């Protein structure tokens, strides 16, 4: 099994985390960002979008991070990472897609404004605006977590991975944050998982923009 993508990418971290939860290894190849390689003919033959991650598992080539996580869980983690219950499986899918449609469109621009841009190009007004939008979106997670310890139900699953992959950055960026007790408790529970610590709670300093 091969995983293409730099380890500082949140989308790659989703896959690394899933692999860690399953006790599986994959050969990871650095592409994207400062490593380049996305425009090579060899990589574009694997992924015509020229983005990361891309997974090779035997003859199967997959891209789109959530799809890769679903595949790994369905093939190698039935009843553990992938819920057996139809209801919990549907809820897991719901929260995975919610990250893409609702959380990511707010969080990614906020991360770019606070971290990726050089200090001279950052807009305090834009940071405040995006922080307020993120407060509302993370409040949705907080409300869900008032009723259940994990997003899909009583046990950790793939439903937690996409949204939770943002939390280390959310809690360590220099931004105003609301006091969301349920979200904080979720982050503490996640921090007890070795695969989360090794794949997600890592430095993003190489991504920091500098003047």
Q: 94 and 193 in one domain?
A: yes
Q: For position 118, what pLDDT does the model report?
A: 97
| HSE toward the beta carbon, residue 90, CA cutoff 13 A | 3
| HSE toward the beta carbon, residue 9, CA cutoff 13 A | 22
Domain assignment present for residue 139? The answer is yes
Q: 57 and 115 in one domain?
A: no
Q: 194 and 100 in one domain?
A: yes
pLDDT (tens digit, 9 = 90+) per residue, 146-183?
Answer: 999 999 999 999 999 999 999 999 999 999 999 999 99
Q: 94 and 42 in one domain?
A: no
Rounded to the nearest integer, the mean pLDDT of the chain is: 97
Output the domain CATH number for residue 92.
Answer: 1.20.1050.10
Which H, E and C letters describe 99-153, residue by residue? HHHHHHHHHHHHHHHHHHCCHHHCCHHHHHHHHHHHHHHHHHHHHHHCCCCECCE
Q: For position 166, what pLDDT does the model report?
A: 98
- CA-to-CA distance for 55 and 35, rounded, in angstroms? 18
Using left for φ > 0, alpha for ψ between -120 and 50, and beta otherwise, residue 33 falls in left
| Average pLDDT of the segment spanning 123-138 | 97
CB 204 within 8 A of CB 115: yes
Q: 103 and 27 in one domain?
A: no
DSSP line for 26-48: -EEE--SGGG--TTSHHHHHH-T
Domain assignment present for residue 159? The answer is yes
Q: 115 and 21 in one domain?
A: no
- CA-to-CA distance for 32 and 94, rounded, in angstroms? 28
Q: 47 and 14 in one domain?
A: yes
- CA-to-CA distance for 119 and 143, rounded, in angstroms? 34
Q: 112 and 185 in one domain?
A: yes
pLDDT (tens digit, 9 = 90+) per residue, 175-204?
Answer: 999 999 999 999 999 999 999 999 999 999
CB atoms within 10 A of CB 117: 18
Output the domain CATH number for residue 15.
Answer: 3.40.30.10
Q: 69 and 158 in one domain?
A: no
Domain count, the chain: 2
Q: 144 and 103 in one domain?
A: yes
Tell me which of 15, 41, 76 is where a domain ends: 76
Tell me which of 58, 76, 94 is where a domain ends: 76
Domain assignment present for residue 193? The answer is yes
Domain assignment present for residue 210? The answer is no
Domain, as residue range, for 8: 2-76
């Amino acid at each position: 099994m091969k995983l293409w993508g730099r380890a500082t990418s949140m989308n790659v971290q989703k896959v690394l985390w899933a692999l860690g939860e399953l006790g599986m290894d994959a050969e990871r190849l650095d592409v994207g960002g400062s490593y380049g390689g996305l425009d090579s003919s060899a990589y574009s033959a694997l992924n015509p979008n020229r983005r990361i991650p891309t997974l090779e598992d035997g003859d199967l080539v997959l891209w789109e991070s959530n799809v890769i996580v679903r595949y790994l869980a369905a093939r190698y983690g039935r009843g553990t990472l992938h819920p057996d219950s139809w209801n919990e499986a549907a809820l897991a899918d719901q929260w995975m897609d919610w990250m893409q449609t609702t959380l990511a469109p707010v969080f990614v621009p906020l991360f770019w404004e606070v971290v990726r841009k050089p200090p001279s190009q950052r807009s305090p007004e834009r940071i405040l605006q995006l922080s307020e939008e993120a407060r509302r979106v993370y409040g949705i997670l907080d409300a869900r977590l008032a009723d259940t310890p994990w997003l899909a139900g009583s046990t950790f699953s793939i439903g937690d991975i996409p949204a939770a992959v943002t939390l280390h950055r959310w809690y360590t960026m220099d931004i105003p944050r609301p006091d969301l007790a349920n979200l904080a408790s979720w982050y503490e529970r996640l921090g007890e998982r070795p695969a989360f610590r090794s794949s997600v709670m890592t430095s993003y300093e190489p991504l920091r923009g500098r003047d």
